Structure 1
Amino acid sequence: MHDNSAVGEVTLKDCSFAWCKRDQKVDSPGLDGVNLLVESGSLVGVVGTVGSGKSSLLSAIVGDMRHLSGSVSLNGSIAVVSQAPQILNMTVRDNITFGRKFEELHYSKVVEACQLSRDINRMAAGDLTEAGDKGEMLSGGQKQRVSLARAVYSRSDIYLLDDPTSSQDARVAQNIMRRVLGHDGILGNKTRILVTNNSRLPLKPNQWVLMHKKRGITFRDLKDLKNHPCAPVELFEKPTSKHLPERTSSVNLLNQRCLNDSLRPVLQLIVCDFFQGCFEVVRAYFKYSGACAPMALTCLVASAAFVACQMLCVKAWAATMMDSTENTTHSGRSIIRWLAVFCIGDVSLRLTGGMLLACANHRRSIELHANMLDCVAGSALSFFDATPRGRIFNRFSVDLEINDIRLFIFSKQLVQSILYVFARLAVIGTQAPFVFGPTVFVEIVLLFCLRYLISGAMLGRLYQSTQLSRLLQHLTETLDCVGLIRCYGVMEQFCARFRRMVTVCLEAFNMLVYCFAIGRLISTICALLIILLTVAIIVAPAHDEPGSAGMAGLSLLSAFTSSFFKEQVTELSLLHRRVKQKQQSSEKRTDFLRAAKATNIAVVDFVRVKKPSVTCMADLSFGSPRQVLEQRGQPSFRLDDGMTWNTSNLAKVPSGPHTLRPDESCKAQEADTLKSPSPGPGEP
């Protein structure tokens, strides 16, 4: 609510506020009968005991609390620095600018005043360093200074500061008070409402507000506040320490020699398991499915045998139609009866196998979801600090949907297609052995094309999954910071970012559409080749021999049913990596956490080093037992003090979040490496 008062003036008259919804009945308000008059450009100190309503007063001014009675007058824009800094998974610069236009001069001035220059210079990428989920890459003091710099950069008229130096040491806190909040600081001419527990500030507020029993009492002088019987005693006590330790981040770099020999077997097992083939996925599939999966496979094998018998019956019936004698007519009726029996048996076995596979899929889904939930719910807090929430939501939503529905459908179709293709090949091969020559040639060409098609589709699926995780992460962060976004008035910027991320997800989906369009083209070409082969059989010189008509009908029957097998191979190959990832999350997470806790280590989430010929990426976090390595040559680990890639030694350094730099002893080799030509865009 605004009026014609001076810019930056705040007025509350007999106001009552409550933490409740608009249609909810209020039993007792959170703030009752609050009166406050803050003049433009003044500094107000808010003090009180724990739970007296200091932070609630700031929330009421912002508008996060429900206004019950009284009048509120605010003239100007508002910036908030909360007690718990809200850091988004963006770069440090983006967290400071927060959707506003980047102004280099003003930005440098703000960063210097908020004591962030030294921290940014120590970071590997400077202010372009990613802050991580909830600011996991930053320490507690750095988060608070970034939140303060965000408020100062906004150039607002009213600043609400909830103990902005609680995580800073004495020297940094004094510099911030003097250069930012002081009368000669950047915000010297702005309205500042400061919640503090320290009366010995290096600046003099124009007035003090004592919060007591959900009400505010205003004092013009500190002596009057001190003489009040409700004033907190600890407010005027001398501090026991001159320096307050800065809270460290929940996820730090690997400390020197923190990985001992007991953890090495676990890490080596993780690296080996990641590169194993599809057989482990099949083994896990049968393990979680129980006894229903082997029974279903038996039914489908019997169904394929019935399909082969149907083809032989069709061939025999077509041959008898060439002769119209009485014996052949009787034989044709007998063949039709047998064909009906085989068809009924085939349908019955297919239905039985499908129901058994559905039961197996239901059991497997329950087991996998229960294991994932137990592992995630029982993980250490460090796992949630190191793992973005969007990734967890993606695992429990999209990835589980793939396992529950798509994997079941395509695995069933793939098994049926494999069995039926072999049954048809066996029947046709016994009747026309010359078909195997063209078939082998076509299969070689098909496998060559599928190799590139599956690789492209897998990259597209991975890209889509990554972008979807980022989109979900953006949604969760927006919901967490909705009050902050509304306060700074950057709703449109966040909506625009959301639209851009949705566009990227759609582009990733288009990549998959193109891959499957190419797959359909390959299927069409294969079907045309089969049709041409069938026509060649029909027009062959021996087409009038007994059985040639049946052979032609047999070929036509198989012409449009074999190419579907290729699509199932492609789709199941795309699902393989996701199933394996969830299996590792279920089986390896417990061992990894036990080893990590035993060694008391702090584990790196993402480490990335990019040079012209060396690229490595490691993903080793609490509860995330996998490691991805992309480089040239075979890596050799030195888990106690660093890593070695070929001739380049990479050592841990504490100068920036998640950074590995070359050892000093390898500068000569590094110089030779930098002289080598850069790889192409498609090379790792």
Structure 2
Amino acid sequence: METNDENVKKKNPREGANPISALFFLYMIPTFIRNYKRGVQREDIYEPLKAHKSATLGDKLEIIWRNLSRKYDKHALHVALFKVFGFELIFIAIIKLIVEVIVLVVMPMCVDKLVSFYEHRSNATLEETYIYAGVLVGIIFLDALSEHQATLAIMHTCMKLRVSCCSLIYRKSLRLSVTALAHTSVGQVVNLLSSDTSKFDQTFVLYHYAFLGPLETIVGTYLLYRTLGIAAFAGISFLVLFIPFQLYLCKKLSLVRLRTARRTDERVRLMNEILNGIQVIKMYTWEIPFAKLVELARRHEIAAIRSHFIIHSFLFSLQMFITRTCLFISLVVFIAMGATMTADIAYTATSIYSFIRPVMTMLFSFSIASYAEVYTSISRVHEFLTYEEQSVDRVLGNQLSLTCFAPNIYMEDVCAKWVTSSSENTLTNINLDLHGNLLNAIIGSVGSGKSSLLHLILGELCKTFGDLRIQGSVSYASQEAWLFSASVKQNIVFCHEYNEERYEKVLKVCALERDLALLPFGDRTIVGERGKSLSGGQKARINLARCIYRDADIYLLDDPLSAVDSKVGKHIFENCIKNFLKDKMCILVTHQLQFLNQFDNIIVLEDGRIVAEAKFEELQRSGLNFSKILDQHSTEDDHEQEQVSHQNSDPSEIYDQLEDNDNTPLIQNEHLTEGHIKSTVYKGYFKAGGNYFLIFFVAFAFIGNQVVCNAGDYFVSYWVNLEQKAIETNDTVNENIIIYVYGGLTGGTILFAIGHNLLFFMYTMRASVSIHNEVFQRVSQAAMSFYDSNPIGRILNRFSKDIAVIDYYIPYILNSMTEILLMLIGAVVLSSTVNVWFLIPSFGLFILFYFLRIVFLRTSRSVKRIEGINRSPILTHVTASLYGLSTIRAYSAQNLLIQEYDSLQDKHSSAWYLFISASKAFGCWLEMICNLFVSGIIVSLVVIPKGYYGGDIGLVLTQYLGLMGSLQYGMRQWSELENNMISVERILELKDAEAEPIRESKPVPKLWPEFGRIEFVHVCLNYTKDLPILRNLNFTIQPGEKVGIVGRTGAGKTSTVAALFQLYKIEGSIIIDDVDTTKIDLKLLRTKISIIPQDPVLFNGTLRKNLDPFDECNDDVIWNALDQVELKSTVSDSMAGLNINVWENGSNFSVGQRQLICLARAIIRNNNILVMDEATANVDPYTDALIQKTIRNNFSRCTVITIAHRLHTIMDSDRVLVMDAGCVIEFDHPYTLLQQKNGIFSSMVEMTGKNIANKLYCIAEQSFQEMKNK
């Protein structure tokens, strides 16, 4: 459904790489060179490897998942993933184990021989020493190559795990039943796709150390036993004792992760609701209560994240002190047993512990933690996959077009409900037998079950009883138009082949030709997310056109005429419904009773039951109450149909404000920042964590930790050198003092390790909280133009994925990078105490690494940005799909949307694979250079002896060998920090969103506005620089006047309301009761005006919170408001009363009921100015009359502005304002305007037909006489 669907054509160089090129990542060199010169562009992203294809991976996993889901209740997905990817993961782990065991055995042996040579206790010759040095050099190169190849293979497999799970989640979301949809949300699905599945990429890459760690520890214990004897078990025992503690922490981490994920779901769900209803929220001035909801959700989320970081602080700390403590215990026991400490023994043990240290204290615990986190995420995905699906035997099973039989819909005693757990049926005892090419109407009051009956035919409702059979293919037009961000043409053709002849006919019968001629790019015009660039009427007709374009046997049309004016409505009914569909079965839900005499069959619904079914004449003769309703509305001139506001008519140009050369899209492409991350981004992040004193304190803790660690390492060298000197001079060493000092340093290491990690993670958490709160506050206060140009998926992506990066990944990366940097400095300083000349090559190595990092970042940073941008369309696609689920399933378009989703995933996978390949290539090349450097150090120690002690050699070797993997990892983490800081950059970009002006409100009278006089003075409004909407509006509405606003599509009616609420910047002044509202606080202004919006918006939560989010009113006031809109009985019948739960988007209420709830809001607010923005467009005549009656009773003294969708609603207005092309054309009493025979308003009335026009004329005349007699 995306429009920017450029194809990726470049073949991935990995596919044609030879073994040598693949081993050393040489195939990546051209990519680095090319991208260093000009940076990475979107077109530089290669096509995905065949192994990455989302469709292939999704199909494979889905087949196995379906088979296993019948056998396993809780772990079907776990087993399915293992079956699909288990062999790859096990094979990689086995290869990794073999190499690491070889390194573990050979490296300490070589260290032992080299150190022994300098203690003059070895019988090895100089030549043998050269051999040992050469073997040591070779083994470090083998370790480096295997590490990077294995890691890339693991990341590749983890990426495939993620892609397959995401594909499975999306496919499942398209099959969810209505019951399941009631218990999930768009936010939850977004979080599953953006956060949970990302655990495969981010944490599961260390999976193999869960069993490699214990196996390597066993080998290491044997080697330690050979070196230290029984003393080895003392140190190892301490290490083993910590394993249960690590496992306990990992188990707690799993529980914390589950709690965090649920709380993140809630926050993302809230964000999604707020973004979808932001215009209504602003008009109601509900930013504060919704901000408090998000703040509360974020506070709960942060509480879980705090627990997460406390656990991780201890896990991180273990790697710093546990092996040093084990070595201390082993050496102390060794000395206590009467043995003599020598350099070869101390440093052989040190090298073994150093190898075991990252494996058992960091990698093992992280691996267990990653299993816990991934297990939790998979369980959450599994839970989602087990949600109830739409029935396989749904009534649309016979979707093939009929050739020999007539279409048929048969229902016998059918009962159905939206939610299976509900005690009451939505539809009861439905009996229908519709067959042949008949035109059927469904009518009834709000909440009577009209739309539910259509959804029952579609198979969306849960059938609980009865027989239901559908024969023939079905096409469906939903009541609320569903459009996706693509061209008009793509929205109409949708999932079918393009047929030019049929397409042109559909445009004609749906009255779209004129609109397309006036749109800037015709049918290639992008409609924007959810059709935001179009008027309501245009959206409705495009929605209808999609339905009609499909060649089906049965057409279900859910009130498409309510959004069009009388002329267009008549055109659509005559040309589209009656003529174009004359050979089809058509079922039309409608409130337009003037057309009923032209239907073959009419179905009357009341309280979910069919109370009548017959032809028009029979219903007129029947004794049902319907007869009275019908008489009232048909003889009262059928003024139901007079919907004027949205559609085009003859006079005047509608889109003359759109220049033909206007190339500015409404939805702007996501900005791709280029170059390095600016210092202001880092400054913004660190400043968010605290003041300079806190930053200094954290830095001091890090440095203190490294100083204590290096002091302990140096003291071991000092100790063994003392022992060697004592042996050479026949002296003794006071080992008690040695043990006390060494023990004190070890204890200090423990305290600093735990302390600096806790302090650091608390600091980064403060930064995360501060950034989220500041940016959310900015977004919630942003001007409407920001939301118009930024799709919801894009903003959600930043508040889900990017916030997750700031919450979790940046702290880890920053922590490890800082520790490795300090470790490098410490190693260089310690080595320089042995030979100060080591500083020169060390400094040169750092300079070389720095420049290589610049080259790497030029590619990886751009690729990371593109990866983030390629992720946004995925979430936008998912969001759009879930909002249009009924339509998608009605068209059987699931496969098309799955293909499109897979295509979007492939684009993201291409960018991600290029990123990880670049990262691994960079790491491998860095480690090769580092290995050459260390090799040079080793050779210099052997070839250029300078009278070193064994302890000196041991210190240098262990320090530099300890840097082997860490140095390149630290450099990559440094680079990765910049890549992840892109998330901070993207989040902080939202701070630049144009904010609504903050005005110092001038004092206004306490009761303002007391009278409700409204004056527009030279008011102009532009949505964008090139799209002027309102042009120099000048008019005055007197206190208490009832004013209707009418006009054609694009005339500026809704924009006038936007100007009144000042949702956009305006020029000129709007004066209310002598107060210039352009100079007062916006919130003050908006709280004083009530509105019933065009699209009723409800939010997830209780009904009471939807009516009174500030808790300003007592229950009696709310019950009274519900009583006046005749919803009191509906709500009181529920055991929850005012606390009845409102589903996401208010989907458990009909559209009419949602509109009545919005009316109740206006009653509760009790303002002197009321705006009705086409509030009765989608309600039946009874509800329309109820709304009009309620307004007359409750707002008789108020100024009421009605954007008319039905002419009868404004014919008795005090005045009618007629607009066209953003200008006021006519403004007077409707009776006066009707005297102008060539006027626009007069022509609108005439278009309704002779009978209706006469009735409307009588209403206007009567109103005029009453006004004169006052």
Mark yes or no: TM-score above 0.5: yes
Q: Is 1:107 the counterpart of 2:503 in the alignment?
A: yes
Structure 2 Cα separation of the partners of residues 310 and 509 of structure 1: 42
Q: CA deviation at 1:96?
A: 1.9
Cα 1:242–1:31 shift into 2, 3 Å: closer
Aligned partner (choices 681, 688, 705) of residue 303 of structure 1: 705
Aligned residue for 2:910?
Answer: 507
Aligned residue for 2:860?
Answer: 457
Q: Is 1:593 the counterpart of 2:1008 in the alignment?
A: no
SS of match in other structure, 1:535: helix
Aligned partner (choices 547, 557, 575) of residue 151 of structure 1: 547
Contact kept, 8 Å, 2:783 with 2:995, in 1: the verdict is: no
Cα 1:600–1:122 shift into 2, 3 Å: closer
Aligned partner (choices 525, 531, 542) of residue 934 of structure 2: 531
Aligned partner (choices 941, 947, 952) of residue 550 of structure 1: 952
Aligned partner (choices 412, 423, 426) of residue 25 of structure 1: 423
Aligned residue for 1:181?
Answer: 577
Q: CA deviation at 1:454?
A: 1.8
Q: Is 1:218 the counterpart of 2:620 in the alignment?
A: no
For the aligned residue pairs, the C-alpha RMSD in angstroms reads: 4.3
SS of match in other structure, 2:932: helix
Contact kept, 8 Å, 1:318 with 1:549, in 2: the verdict is: yes
Instruction: Please list the CA deviations of residues 130-163 of structure 1 after superposition, one character each: whole Å capped at 9, or x if unmatched.
Output: 4332222332122112211111121111111122
Structure 1 Cα separation of the partners of residues 923 and 520 of structure 2: 47
Contact kept, 8 Å, 1:177 with 1:203, in 2: the verdict is: no
Structure 2 Cα separation of the partners of residues 309 and 218 of structure 1: 93
Instruction: Please list the CA deviations of residues 275-303 of structure 1 after superposition, one character each: whole Å capped at 9, or x if unmatched.
Output: 98235434533433577654332111112
Aligned partner (choices 564, 570, 583) of residue 975 of structure 2: 570
Cα 1:447–1:346 shift into 2, 3 Å: same
Structure 2 Cα separation of the partners of residues 16 and 535 of structure 1: 84
SS of match in other structure, 2:480: coil
Which amino acid is 2:703 matched to?
V
Instruction: Please list the CA deviations of residues 181-217 of structure 1 after superposition, one character each: whole Å capped at 9, or x if unmatched.
Output: 123x2x2211111222223449922233333454242
Which is richer in helix? 2
Aligned partner (choices 539, 563, 588) of residue 194 of structure 1: 588
Instruction: Please list the CA deviations of residues 482-511 of structure 1 after superposition, one character each: whole Å capped at 9, or x if unmatched.
Output: 222222222322333333333333333212
Alignment of 1:78-89 (within 5 A): 78-89=474-485
Which amino acid is 2:589 matched to?
V
SS of match in other structure, 2:593: coil
Aligned residue for 2:600?
Answer: 206
Which amino acid is 1:50 matched to?
V
Which amino acid is 2:646 matched to?
E
Aligned residue for 2:446?
Answer: 50
| TM-score (norm. length: structure 2) | 0.41
Aligned partner (choices 211, 227, 234) of residue 633 of structure 2: 234
Alignment of 1:393-542 (within 5 A): 393-428=796-831, 432=835, 434-539=837-942, 541=944
Q: CA deviation at 1:232?
A: 6.7
Cα 1:241–1:66 shift into 2, 3 Å: closer
Instruction: Please list the CA deviations of residues 314-367 of structure 1 after superposition, one character each: whole Å capped at 9, or x if unmatched.
Output: 665576576443377639997776555444433431221012122323444444
SS of match in other structure, 1:99: coil
Structure 1 Cα separation of the partners of residues 827 and 423 of structure 2: 73
SS of match in other structure, 1:25: coil
**What count of residue pairs does the alignment treat as equivalent?**
584
Aligned residue for 1:245?
Answer: 645
Structure 2 Cα separation of the partners of residues 44 and 126 of structure 1: 34
Q: CA deviation at 1:515?
A: 1.6
Alignment of 1:639-658 (within 5 A): none
Q: CA deviation at 1:50?
A: 3.3
Contact kept, 8 Å, 1:315 with 1:547, in 2: the verdict is: no
Aligned partner (choices 405, 409, 412) of residue 10 of structure 1: 409
SS of match in other structure, 2:628: coil
Structure 1 Cα separation of the partners of residues 789 and 696 of structure 2: 40
Structure 2 Cα separation of the partners of residues 596 and 157 of structure 1: 59
For structure 1, which segment, 339-348 or 87-96, has the greater mean C-alpha deviation from structure 2 after superposition? 339-348
Contact kept, 8 Å, 1:34 with 1:216, in 2: the verdict is: no
Q: CA deviation at 1:551?
A: 6.5
Q: CA deviation at 1:574?
A: 0.9
Cα 1:340–1:603 shift into 2, 3 Å: farther
Contact kept, 8 Å, 2:597 with 2:617, in 1: the verdict is: no
Structure 1 Cα separation of the partners of residues 1020 and 686 of structure 2: 35
For structure 1, which segment, 516-525 or 488-497, has the greater mean C-alpha deviation from structure 2 after superposition? 488-497
Cα 1:298–1:198 shift into 2, 3 Å: same
SS of match in other structure, 1:7: coil
Structure 2 Cα separation of the partners of residues 113 and 161 of structure 1: 15
Structure 1 Cα separation of the partners of residues 441 and 943 of structure 2: 100
Instruction: Please list the CA deviations of residues 411-441 of structure 1 after superposition, one character each: whole Å capped at 9, or x if unmatched.
Output: 1112222333334444555765544544454
Which amino acid is 1:113 matched to?
V
Structure 1 Cα separation of the partners of residues 933 and 735 of structure 2: 28
Which amino acid is 2:760 matched to?
L
Aligned residue for 1:664?
Answer: none
Cα 1:556–1:65 shift into 2, 3 Å: closer
Contact kept, 8 Å, 2:442 with 2:587, in 1: the verdict is: yes
Alignment of 1:275-354 (within 5 A): 277-289=678-690, 294-310=696-712, 312-313=714-715, 316=718, 323=725, 324-326=727-729, 330=733, 338=741, 341-354=744-757
Structure 2 Cα separation of the partners of residues 131 and 394 of structure 1: 21
Instruction: Please list the CA deviations of residues 600-645 of structure 1 after superposition, one character each: whole Å capped at 9, or x if unmatched.
Output: 97656999xxxxxxxxxxxxxx99xxxxxxxxxxxxxxxxxxxxxx
Which amino acid is 1:25 matched to?
S
Contact kept, 8 Å, 2:594 with 2:641, in 1: the verdict is: no
Identity of aligned residues (%): 20
Structure 2 Cα separation of the partners of residues 307 and 316 of structure 1: 14
Structure 1 Cα separation of the partners of residues 512 and 749 of structure 2: 73
Aligned residue for 1:682?
Answer: none
Which amino acid is 1:244 matched to?
V
Q: Where do 5+ consecutive residues of structure 1 fail to align?
A: 257-269, 608-621, 624-653, 655-684
SS of match in other structure, 1:592: coil
Cα 1:133–1:25 shift into 2, 3 Å: same
Which amino acid is 2:628 matched to?
P
SS of match in other structure, 1:51: coil
Alignment of 1:65-84 (within 5 A): 65-84=461-480
Which amino acid is 1:102 matched to?
Y
Which amino acid is 1:7 matched to?
A
Cα 1:516–1:340 shift into 2, 3 Å: farther
Aligned partner (choices 517, 523, 536) of residue 140 of structure 1: 536
Aligned residue for 1:357?
Answer: 760
Which amino acid is 1:563 matched to?
Q
Structure 2 Cα separation of the partners of residues 12 and 572 of structure 1: 63
Contact kept, 8 Å, 1:90 with 1:132, in 2: the verdict is: yes
Contact kept, 8 Å, 1:43 with 1:192, in 2: the verdict is: yes
Structure 1 Cα separation of the partners of residues 596 and 754 of structure 2: 81
Contact kept, 8 Å, 1:198 with 1:236, in 2: the verdict is: no
SS of match in other structure, 1:544: coil
